[in-house]
Amino acid sequence: MIHNFNAGPSILPKEVFDEAAKAILNFRDTGLSILEIGHRTALFQSVLDEAVLLAKELMKLDGDHEVLFLHGGATTQFFQMPMNLLNENQTAAYLDCGTWGTKAIKEARVFGNVDVVASSKDKNYTYIPKGYVIPADAAYFHYTTNNTIEGTEMYSIPETNIPLIADMSSDILSYETDYNRFALIYAGAQKNIGAAGVNMVVLRKDILGKVDRKLPGMMDYRKHIEAGSMLNTPPVFAIYVCLLTLRWLKKIGGVGAIEKINRAKADLLYKTLDEKEGFQPTVAKEDRSRMNVVFLINEPELEKKFLEACREQQMIGVKGHRSVGGYRVSLYNALPLESVKALSELIYQL
């Protein structure tokens, strides 16, 4: 058995692979592949409609929120979002907790002013800042809910009356939260929603149309809403994999059910790392991510044994991001608890 701990693109449920593979050869007994059907046909429209409805159901969204499936991944949203929401003479508030937040801040400064209300850069992003003040007159407040590279996670939604914007690329639909409190959420699909190649954007319509600048059609959220995520040819196959993954999540009991499994996986692995001599989690305990467990191995010989054992037992994707080194084990929704148990046993045996 292969244990896939990759940080993204990441593991998907086996039944999603099975259904997607069938659809590549023969989609819904049409004799056509999902890769070749017209995106404006009733066949694909039914895929897109069901994916949107399932996302709204699983997130318990109200009628004021729209769900879009767009090109470009979360990185495009770093600039598309401020382009739509931030005037040149306005200031947006940002929390800087890691690589992706830093990139988002850089892009926002192209369109207006940015107030970095707090940062954990002083300790290499190994904690989430506390006690910061969000300016009441800011255009919006942006933060990253889970920092994939550094292994930190926000466990509560900040209190503010200004529009809340969240990059949820690596923990969306992994735990229950009030998604309706957000004015805009974006998430690359390739961790918990589906395959690489599509980005899900959830937004409240009343925040749009307030900037002075002219927007290119492809960058205007309103145009995408009007076109139902088909302003141009959408990433058909990636959206289909999203649909299959959302179906799987609903089938196993929804977000509440997967949250319990995710907690069990993270609790087991952190307990193992805390108890095993030579292994050192790098993140403040109260801010440890349930999705991306980051740690160091302090003894060169132990490190060598760990890597050899991972290779022998087909444990894939345990190396840390190139920017921080060390090790990272990703525990996304589709990763079974059995894989974490196997890794825990391996660590204890070293």
Q: What is the pLDDT of residue 325?
A: 81
Q: How many residues does the chain have?
A: 350
Residue 223 bears catalytic tag: no
Residue 265: per-residue pLDDT: 98
Whether 24 shows a pLDDT value over 90: the answer reads yes
> How many other CB atoms are there within 10 angstroms of residue 313's CB atom?
14
Query: What mean pLDDT is predicted for residues 151-162?
Result: 97
Examine the pLDDT at 321 and tell me if it is beyond 90: no
Q: Which fold has domain 254-349?
A: Aspartate Aminotransferase, domain 1 (3.90.1150)
Binned at pLDDT 50, 70 and 90, residue 67 comes out as: very high
Q: How confident is the model at residue 324 (pLDDT cuts 50, 70, 90)?
A: confident
* Residues 38-66: tens digit of each pLDDT: 999 999 999 999 999 999 999 999 999 99
Chain segment 3-15, per-residue pLDDT in tens: 999 999 999 999 9
Q: Give mean pLDDT, residues 249-277.
A: 98
Per the confidence metrics, is the pTM higher than 0.75?
Answer: yes
- Looking at residue 72, its pLDDT comes to 93
> Tell me, what's the pLDDT at 141?
98
SS3 of residue 148 by DSSP? coil
Is it the case that residue 323 has pLDDT exceeding 90? no
Q: For 111-140, what is the mean pLDDT?
A: 98
| Model pLDDT, residue 313 | 97
User: Which CATH fold topology does 14-251 show?
Assistant: Aspartate Aminotransferase; domain 2 (3.40.640)
Burial 220-229 (b: 16+ CB within 10 A, else e): bbeebbeeeb
What does the mean pLDDT of the chain come to? 97
Q: State the average pLDDT over residues 84-99.
A: 98
The catalytically annotated residue of 96, 167, 171, 220 is 167
Contact present, 166 and 95 (Cβ < 8 Å): no
Q: Which residues pair with 201 in a beta bridge?
A: 68, 186
Segments in the chain forming alpha helices (H): 14-25, 42-59, 73-85, 99-108, 221-226, 236-251, 254-275, 300-312, 337-349
62 is catalytic: no
Asked if 121 is an active-site residue, the reply is no
Q: What Rg value do the Cα atoms of the chain yield, rounded?
A: 21
Domain ranges of the chain: 14-251, 254-349
Catalytic residue among 191, 220, 265, 287: 191
Residue 183: band (very low, low, confident or very high) from pLDDT cuts 50, 70, 90: very high
